[in-house]
Structure 1
Amino acid sequence: MKFDYYDDIVQITPLWKGERFADGRPKVPDDILRRMRKITLEEAWGPLWGKGYRYQFEGDFKVINEDKVLVGRAVTAVMVPYRPDLHETLLNYGYEQEGRRGFFNQWVIDSLVEDDVVVVDLFDKIYQGTFVGGNLSTAIAARTKRGGSVIWGGVRDVEQIMGIDSIKTYYRGNDPTGIGDVTLVGFNGPCRIGKAICLPGDVVLGTHSGVLFIPPHLAEECVVGAEKSHIRDVWGFIRLAEKRYTTAQIDAPWTVSMWEDFIDWFAKDPQAEEYRHLTWDEELREAKERQDKESRGEIRL
């Protein structure tokens, strides 16, 4: 068993065609992460659900620094209960074959780079299941800058972690004990977090709602879809307040005249300025096709 192994990571992320880190993790572009920080979890969730990714969300956490939005690339870890033979074999392998130092959780944190998020399946262990405390959370902040942790298990030193305002931490419970009686069996492999699955390089989006794990090959599509949904809502709220359209019109497929109204507003209004990288040709084309079908009686109004 090899930890954080390039060939294994590439094997389980074949749909990613872009740049990768030295360990093989997909490297979703920084611009996508920047834009991801401005959207809601529900906006990003929709495209995943529509494509059959039904187990990407988990919301049953306690949270430190809950007002922050957490966005970053996943570094995953899976731990199991202590069994002496397995524990000694894997610990010694890490020391002797891979040159690692410290305990298993330190191996993971020592690998982090900017904009990483630690995602850990600690089988919901709290007592002696504290993956991070004040020191390791400080190391996470130093290495990731804006990252954090998603831990299906425990933390310690909660007050100290609360004082590190550059990172956000999701966890199941806290305990004063240190980590113990656990063994790392997966490092940058598939990771189960409650009802969700996370792979190395997934984009982690954490908000008040919970945590969403976005496959890297769908990250840009999720961002674009979310941005389009958001700016359409802005326009819709304005037009509803002006009583120009009814809620039924806003919620139904838009007519060609509504799309033309929206596109004209989109090109001029300051609220749309940061979204002008988006295009609407496909949406307008579909509206025109629908209008033509309605005129031929192929679609009932």
Structure 2
Amino acid sequence: MLPSTFLLRRASASSAAAAARRSFATGPASGGTISDDLLSRLGSLSTQALVDGLWVMGWPPSQIDGARPLHPSHKCVGRAVTLNFVPARPDIASDKPPGPDSPEYEAFEKCGPNDVLVMSSVGPWESVGGDIKFLRLKQRGVGGLVTDGSVRDTDEIINYGFPCFSYSTTSRQGPAAMQPWECNGVISVSGVTVRPGDAIVGDQDGVVVVPAKVAEKVYSIAHGREVIEGIVKEELTKNPGPPGRFYPFMSGKIKVDSPLGKLLATKGITPENSNQFEGSADW
């Protein structure tokens, strides 16, 4: 029989190993690096198509409801760099690295043209920053900013030229309510989980988070759906009538002998070359 001290040590080592394994979940997804090419392809799709793709796969909600475009022209796509804010507290303020070593400036320096800074606020009306801080994002050529909080100095931020998606705008001072605490950890933004490196796509309908690990699959489903919807729209334009004969359809469940299946066949889309049909789903 093994001595009890040995068993305790082994259990302790096992716990430490388990803790080490869990710690990996705080960073980017393993095996999920999104290439510039895939980013470009994801950005060519609508946020609706991406939401549909994740829904078909059974993933949790992916739209950040608390982030709307600051200007009608704003659209963004990039890899997530995350920043988490926590409610203000004196000891938090004293323990946070000061000046340029603060987590927010650490996050700023990680951002570039193919990155989107995603900031988790403690409340929708709290300010995550304004023109002086975000001047650095302009200098870095950041691909976009997304937050479920609010921003200050709206006109100036719009003039900076990078896409900004926020809950709203405000004149409040952020430090009075919250402080930046962690750069590039896993965060919750309007109840949606964001991991560093996830694809962030924003347009006039909102912002969608595409998990890095399944981004290629989501693109495949979403692109296929958009092609099909284009064909349906073309058909209804030429032959007006209720769209109910083609809708609703579920990716991976279109029947070959259905009105939609027959329409797609006239365009050369069949189970042999599409994953949208019954029995052809690859997810």
TM-score, normalised via structure 2 length = 0.74
1:71 corresponds in structure 2 to: 77
Correspondent of 2:232 among 231, 236, 239 = 236
Match for 1:253: what amino acid? Answer: K
Deviations 1:94-140 (CA, angstroms, capped at 9, x unpaired) = x6xxxx725442222122133111111121164xx432212333322
| Contact preservation (8 Å) 1:154, 1:175 | no
Q: SS in structure 2 opposite 1:77?
A: strand
Q: Does 1:134 align with 2:153?
A: no
Q: Tell me, in whole angstroms, the C-alpha distance in 1 between the residues paired with 2:25 and 2:164.
A: 30
Match for 1:191: what amino acid? Answer: I
1:191 corresponds in structure 2 to: 187
Gaps of 5+ in 1: 1-6, 19-26, 267-278, 290-301
Q: Tell me, in whole angstroms, the C-alpha distance in 2 between the residues paired with 1:36 and 1:284.
A: 18
2:213 corresponds in structure 1 to: 217
Q: SS in structure 2 opposite 1:78?
A: strand
Correspondent of 1:40 among 39, 42, 46 = 46
| Contact preservation (8 Å) 1:202, 1:214 | yes
Q: Tell me, in whole angstroms, the C-alpha distance in 1 between the residues paired with 2:29 and 2:105.
A: 30
Query: How large is the Cα RMSD of the aligned pairs?
Result: 3.3
Q: Does 1:201 align with 2:215?
A: no
Over the matched positions of the two proteins, sequence identity in percent amounts to 20
Q: SS in structure 1 opposite 2:112?
A: coil
Match for 2:105: what amino acid? Answer: Q
1:261 corresponds in structure 2 to: 266
Match for 1:117: what amino acid? Answer: V
| Contact preservation (8 Å) 2:28, 2:195 | no
1:255-294 alignment runs, 5 A limit: 255=257, 257-263=262-268, 281-283=272-274
Correspondent of 1:11 among 19, 25, 31 = 25
The Cα of 1:167 is off from its aligned counterpart by: 2.6
Q: SS in structure 2 opposite 1:136?
A: helix
Gaps of 5+ in 2: 1-20, 248-253
| Contact preservation (8 Å) 1:71, 1:203 | yes
Match for 2:181: what amino acid? Answer: V
| Contact preservation (8 Å) 1:77, 1:121 | yes
1:114-129 alignment runs, 5 A limit: 114-124=113-123, 126=125, 129=126
| Contact preservation (8 Å) 1:59, 1:209 | no
Q: SS in structure 2 opposite 1:124?
A: coil
The Cα of 1:202 is off from its aligned counterpart by: 1.2
Q: SS in structure 2 opposite 1:185?
A: strand
| Contact preservation (8 Å) 2:231, 2:264 | no
Call closer, same or farther: CA 1:281–1:123 in 2, change over 3 Å.
same
1:297 corresponds in structure 2 to: none
1:23-102 alignment runs, 5 A limit: 27-91=33-97, 101=100
Q: SS in structure 2 opposite 1:281?
A: coil
Deviations 1:194-227 (CA, angstroms, capped at 9, x unpaired) = 2322111111111222211110112122222222
The Cα of 1:240 is off from its aligned counterpart by: 2.9
Call closer, same or farther: CA 1:181–1:244 in 2, change over 3 Å.
closer
Q: Tell me, in whole angstroms, the C-alpha distance in 1 between the residues paired with 2:146 and 2:137.
A: 12
Q: Tell me, in whole angstroms, the C-alpha distance in 1 between the residues paired with 2:236 and 2:262.
A: 16
Deviations 1:67-102 (CA, angstroms, capped at 9, x unpaired) = 2221111111111122222332232xxx6xxxx725
Q: Tell me, in whole angstroms, the C-alpha distance in 2 between the residues paired with 1:107 and 1:285.
A: 43
